Amino acid sequence: MKLVPRNQPVGMFSAASLTDIVMLLLIFFLLSSNYIVQPGIKVELPPSETAQVIEEKNIIVTITREGAVWVGNEQTTMSSLGATLRKYIISGTAQTVIIKADKQVYLETAVRVIDQVKAAGGERFLVATEREE
């Protein structure tokens, strides 16, 4: 007994369904991936086991390895840091000043920046670290 198939095999391969699947996977991975882009100056932060991610509107003060001081994307000097911070600190609002100091920066420099933050009216400040793996 000879079996005869009812449907004839298709002579061409249709790539339309394959491109649909690839596009759906691409959209899925783009939407599910988490991109964390930190604007500002590149510094190597010291590690910490208890580091936390802060998701508020903050003022970021960056101290580079060479001793340059940045408030946001604006470079300033240590002597004019207080005046620059006063522009960013809104009185009556509980803003946090995050100090991102390179791990090669002397503690004295970081303490001077903390003093400038307090003198400019900053009530809350944090020292940024990286989570230790």
Instruction: State how far the Cα of 82 lies from the Cα of 79, in Å rounded to an integer.
Output: 7
For position 18, what pLDDT does the model report? 85
126: CATH: 3.30.420.270
24 domain residue, yes or no: no
34 domain residue, yes or no: no
Q: Give me the tens of pLDDT residue by residue for the chain, a chain 133 residues long.
A: 788 878 877 777 777 788 888 999 998 888 877 665 555 566 676 777 776 665 556 788 889 888 889 888 888 888 888 888 888 877 555 678 888 888 888 888 888 998 988 888 887 888 887 877 6
106 domain residue, yes or no: yes
3-state percent helix, strand, coil for the chain, nearest multiple of 5: 30, 20, 55
61 domain residue, yes or no: yes
E strands in the chain: 47-48, 59-63, 69-71, 74-76, 96-101, 124-127, 130-131
Structural domain count, the chain: 1
At 36, list the tokens.
């964390």
Residue 53's domain comprises 47-131
Instruction: State how far the Cα of 112 lies from the Cα of 79, in Å rounded to an integer.
Output: 10
Would you say 122 and 38 are in contact if contact means Cβ atoms under 8 Å apart? no
